Structure 1
Amino acid sequence: MFIDVELKLLSHQGKIMKRIFNIVALMAVVAAMSGCATPVRERVVIHEQPQKVVVRQMPAPIQESVSAQPGPGYAWVPGHWVWRDGGWQWQGGHWYAGAVRPMPPVIVEQITVAPSPSHFWVQGHWKWHGNDWLWVKGRWML
């Protein structure tokens, strides 16, 4: 009777050991096979669309009539367009006590990439500032 119980116990332990061995063997096979996997390489192709640049062009100059010179030593500052409060505004000509050099030629600027599709480019322009012409650089605006 003791032998029967002992044989059954040994048989039961053998089944457990066999099961553990099979599980360990299966895990080893799975681990080995995972190294055989080929990684998937995806190729990303980006087709950049040409950027549409919206330029708010300065309007044509307005012809002004020059009033009589108020006195000796005065020079006429011609009217010109300036960007103010979200749009081009005409700055009328006026007399200035002192010498006024002619407005310099427009500076051609390189337009950079827009910060967003909703931005528009305001071109650079000259404006009268104090006693001389000042170049206001072109810039992106919303």
Structure 2
Amino acid sequence: MRANIKQRLLLGGTLLLAGGLSGGLVGCASHERVIVRETVVGQPVVRRMPAVIHEDRGPAPGYGWNWVQGHWKWEGNDWAWVHGHWVEHEVPVMPPVIVEQITVAPSPRHFWVPGHWVWRAEGRHEWFWVRGGWHI
């Protein structure tokens, strides 16, 4: 009989403890929906300029004439070749390309056009850096 009472107390305590724990867990349940979306960022599309076109410059038209080398220039939606030509003033060598960091594309439709040097014929007669940027 004594063993029977012990078993009942033990069983009752276990049920009481289990009921208390499950009652405590009920208050912790969450009914919020959690949606996880992973954005996969691919490699940006870069519209690199084509290879340089080697031009035959021929002889200078006269003393003091200098050659402006041909170069690629971004015009609207594509690269356009600007032919080399002779000018009657000093022409510095085209500076080295400036390495720019490509930023995050504004949309998947955008493509990156790298920065590049163009000859500024009017005014100061110099090489001018056109910064890279996103285009559609």
User: What TM-score, normalized by structure 1, do the two folds share?
Assistant: 0.69
Report how far residue 70 of structure 1 moved: 1.2
Q: Deviations over 1:4-39 (max 9, x none)?
A: xxxxxxxxxxxxxxxxxxxxxxxxxxxxxxxx7965
Aligned to 2:75: 84
Aligned to 1:113: 104
Which SS does the other structure have where 1:99 is aligned?
A: coil
Which SS does the other structure have where 2:44 is aligned?
A: coil
- Distance in 2 between the 1:135 and 1:93 partners? 17
Q: Cα RMSD between the aligned structures?
A: 1.7
Which SS does the other structure have where 2:34 is aligned?
A: coil
Is the helix fraction higher in 1 or 2? 1
Which SS does the other structure have where 2:73 is aligned?
A: strand
Aligned to 1:31: none
For the pair shown, the structure with the greater C-alpha radius of gyration is 1
What code does the residue aligned with 1:66 have?
A: R
Gaps in structure 1 of 5+ consecutive residues: 1-35
- Distance in 2 between the 1:66 and 1:108 partners? 29
Gaps in structure 2 of 5+ consecutive residues: 1-26
Aligned to 2:14: none
Report how far residue 85 of structure 1 moved: 2.6
Structure 1 residue runs of 4+, over 3 Å off?
36-39, 41-44
User: What TM-score, normalized by structure 2, do the two folds share?
Assistant: 0.72
Q: Deviations over 1:13-66 (max 9, x none)?
A: xxxxxxxxxxxxxxxxxxxxxxx7965344342312023311111000001001
Q: Percent identity?
A: 49
Match of 2:31 among 32, 37, 40: 40
Report how far residue 80 of structure 1 moved: 0.4
